[in-house]
Structure 1
Amino acid sequence: MAGPVREGLEAPRVGWVDEPPIPVIRLGDTGEVAAALPHLLGFHPAESVVLVSLRGTGGSRVGLTVRADLPPPAAARSLAHTLAGKVATDEPQAVLLAVVSGAPDVVTPDAAAVPVLPGAGFLPPAPELPHRDLVHEMVLALDARDVPVREALLVRSGHWWDYDCPYPCCEPGAGTPLPGGASPLAAAAVAGGAVLAAGREALAARITPSDDDPGAAGVASACLSAGREHAARLRALGRAAVAAEAGAAVTAAVADCRPGPDTAATRLADARVARVLWGLTLPEVRDRALGLALGEDAAAAEVLWSECTRRAPVLLDGPPATLLAVSAWLRGDGAMANVALERALAADPGAALPQLLADGLAACLPPSALRALIGSTLEQDAAG
């Protein structure tokens, strides 16, 4: 049985085609799209239902990708309508529906035995591909939004099947091997610096502190010391002065996270991470840090937010996780944005900004809209 249903937008690097940094990918045939699902999501999906928006002339261009855990049968209709609503925001020409599952073929309860020659008895009912009921609900939900399903696939054990294909290649027990080699999508993802995760849990592990991390105690100690100093300087110098110092510390840390040979093997000292974490507790510092995602240091800022989120102790991890979500979202990585927002909301369930971002991501707000919103907010702050 599938675990808790996790639904929402998980569309990475090529997911939204309206952002200049994101390459436009046109995939060739059905097998190529099926093989590309991990790159569309940023991780290898398991026991998942995936909708791929097909845009452009004739629906030849990959657009938004949405995913959810396979639901229990009672929740299939509700999930189908939810996901159909999300993918419809991309205004697709058509949708490719894929079920990724290791479930075996099934014999439905109402399947009839097949008679053979008179007096020779019956053959047992033929098995069918699994999860047909879910596929049926998805097709109905998409049809209600006038979105045609170009193909409905099962992806399993390195093969793919078309649920509607009548030929032997798509019979249970057969299947077509997924194409090998480097696809255009995989090449584009690697060129963009993407590292494919083994699964969603592995994606979350990239920003989750390890229980046996020998450096955890050092960061915790540095955060205690930095917290005392932060409080003392607030009392002595006032909020404006401390915010200016914190902003300078963030800027310097971002500079040391820029890609290049001088920073490739650099690990920020615990004390510097601690100062950045405490600085980000000031809303004005965090708000200015949002602007880094719009400039030439966007990649370096994302490295810093990732490092700070991974190393931050509880109660200080919310702000960097929120900033990481914004950075990931702006480059089209909805999977990492979702993971980071879950971390931010776990740190502070009542925090307004991560909840607002989570709502926007669930509504499939494209990166261009988020970029415009951040830019407008920064302009208002500067004018005020």
Structure 2
Amino acid sequence: MTATTALDRFTVGSCEDLLALIPYLIGYEPDEALLVMTHCDGAVAQSSCMSRALVDEPDSLTPIIGSMRAATPGSEFIVVGYGPPEWADAAVMTVRQELRPGEMLCCLVVTDRLFWDVGAGEVPGLAPGHEFDPSTSPVAVQAIASGMSAYASRDELVAVVAGPGDPGPDEAAAWDVACECLGWPPGRQRAFVDDCLADAVEAGRRLDRERLRRLCVLAGGPMRRHVMVRTGLDEDDPAAYEQLWADAVTIAPARWAPPVLGLLGIASWRRGGGALLSEVIARLEALDPASGMILVLTDLRTRRPPRGRRRPHR
């Protein structure tokens, strides 16, 4: 289950637009899942995307619906079931039975690129359904232009934060060499970090493994505050920060992973949070349950990021 706060308002004029936008709101393309969102004051306030396994657990939905209702009193609910029509329709119906009069805004069942508006009385299998193509939706274009992105699946998203596992002898030796930067003068450390950020964020270049290792070491040590401030408040596109810290997480063994996971979480929050932020928090809880970043990111997940001006990549 994930929970997030939608950050940008979009003009959603049809069910097709809504379905095109959903992957960008939650961070990935849902499949065999039940999505429940609360809508208030023209914006999505919360979303929860539940796996089929969770949905099939007895009485699993009631506390989730109650929690979302309590978090945003007076909201309307959007419910979308993804997967085999019979299962998805039953899942949506279970939520509808939990809703109070006037709470239902939209209820859809989606299979591949076909949907049924079950809230309007359409029945999968009896009604022909509506074809849709997310790539033709102007809302999807707007989402991409605003810096949002969507992974192809939840598994692909999870893989981003999974890390490389235990390093072999050569990789362990390379990390020992990277740690030599801890002995550099502070001015050299900061200059190195700023050069990395200039290349990766401002110029959009991917860093090689040697530079990434040193950046991980410094981000977890003397330059921690500096990179946290840059990642959280910089005017550059947060998508570039997300890519940088995702690259760092990909190579960082467990010892060095928590700081860069925290930075990935901050960058993800600036882009809209969603499932990537939730997965970052989950891995931090597994690696370092005492990490203060868990509380920071958990709090950020309930907030809207600042809408600062973004500088274009040079």
TM norm structure 2: 0.80
* CA deviation map 1:48-81 (0-9, x unaligned): 221233344xx5x5554332224255543x5333
Distance 1:151 1:290 in 2: 39
Shift of the alpha carbon at 1:134?
Answer: 2.5
Partner of 1:159: 114
Distance 2:25 2:74 in 1: 16
Partner of 1:314: 254
The answer to whether 1:9 aligns with 2:34 is no
* CA deviation map 1:20-41 (0-9, x unaligned): xxxx212112343234322322
Instruction: Decide whether aligned partners of structure 1 residues 136 and 320 sit closer, same or farther in structure 2, where only a CA change above 3 A counts.
Output: same
Partner of 2:210: 271
Instruction: Decide whether aligned partners of structure 1 residues 216 and 358 sit closer, same or farther in structure 2, where only a CA change above 3 A counts.
Output: farther
Shift of the alpha carbon at 1:353?
Answer: 1.6
Instruction: Decide whether aligned partners of structure 1 residues 268 and 31 sit closer, same or farther in structure 2, where only a CA change above 3 A counts.
Output: closer
Partner of 2:200: 257
Structure 2 gaps of 5+ residues are 309-314
Distance 1:285 1:201 in 2: 32
1:191 to 130, 145, 156: 145
One-letter code aligned to 2:192: A
Q: Report the 3-state secondary structure (helix = DSSP H, G, I; strand = E; otherwise coil) of the residue aligned with 1:8.
A: coil
Instruction: Decide whether aligned partners of structure 1 residues 301 and 295 sit closer, same or farther in structure 2, where only a CA change above 3 A counts.
Output: same
Q: Report the 3-state secondary structure (helix = DSSP H, G, I; strand = E; otherwise coil) of the residue aligned with 2:223.
A: helix
| 8 A contact 2:20–2:140 mirrored in 1 | no
Distance 1:54 1:337 in 2: 21
| 8 A contact 1:152–1:162 mirrored in 2 | yes
Instruction: Decide whether aligned partners of structure 1 residues 317 and 105 sit closer, same or farther in structure 2, where only a CA change above 3 A counts.
Output: closer
Q: Considering only aligned residues, what root-mean-square deviation do their CA atoms show, in Å?
A: 3.3
Instruction: Decide whether aligned partners of structure 1 residues 133 and 176 sit closer, same or farther in structure 2, where only a CA change above 3 A counts.
Output: closer
Q: Report the 3-state secondary structure (helix = DSSP H, G, I; strand = E; otherwise coil) of the residue aligned with 1:53.
A: strand
Instruction: Decide whether aligned partners of structure 1 residues 8 and 209 sit closer, same or farther in structure 2, where only a CA change above 3 A counts.
Output: closer
Distance 2:306 2:62 in 1: 27
| 8 A contact 1:92–1:147 mirrored in 2 | no
Distance 2:36 2:243 in 1: 30
Instruction: Decide whether aligned partners of structure 1 residues 313 and 147 sit closer, same or farther in structure 2, where only a CA change above 3 A counts.
Output: farther
TM norm structure 1: 0.67
1:294 to 214, 233, 256: 233
Shift of the alpha carbon at 1:101?
Answer: 2.4
Structure 1 gaps of 5+ residues are 1-6, 18-23, 107-128, 372-384
One-letter code aligned to 2:18: V
Shift of the alpha carbon at 1:320?
Answer: 0.5
1:100 to 59, 77, 82: 82
Distance 2:281 2:87 in 1: 37
Distance 1:37 1:301 in 2: 23
Shift of the alpha carbon at 1:317?
Answer: 1.0
Q: Report the 3-state secondary structure (helix = DSSP H, G, I; strand = E; otherwise coil) of the residue aligned with 2:156.
A: helix
Distance 2:224 2:65 in 1: 33
Structure index of larger Rg:
1
Distance 2:65 2:173 in 1: 45
Shift of the alpha carbon at 1:154?
Answer: 1.8
Shift of the alpha carbon at 1:200?
Answer: 1.2
Partner of 1:134: 94
The answer to whether 1:85 aligns with 2:74 is no
The share of aligned pairs that are identical, in percent, is 21
Shift of the alpha carbon at 1:331?
Answer: 2.3
One-letter code aligned to 1:131: A
1:345 to 269, 273, 285: 285
Shift of the alpha carbon at 1:89?
Answer: 3.7
Distance 1:258 1:132 in 2: 42
| 8 A contact 2:24–2:150 mirrored in 1 | yes
Shift of the alpha carbon at 1:338?
Answer: 1.6
| 8 A contact 1:159–1:175 mirrored in 2 | no
Instruction: Decide whether aligned partners of structure 1 residues 217 and 298 sit closer, same or farther in structure 2, where only a CA change above 3 A counts.
Output: farther
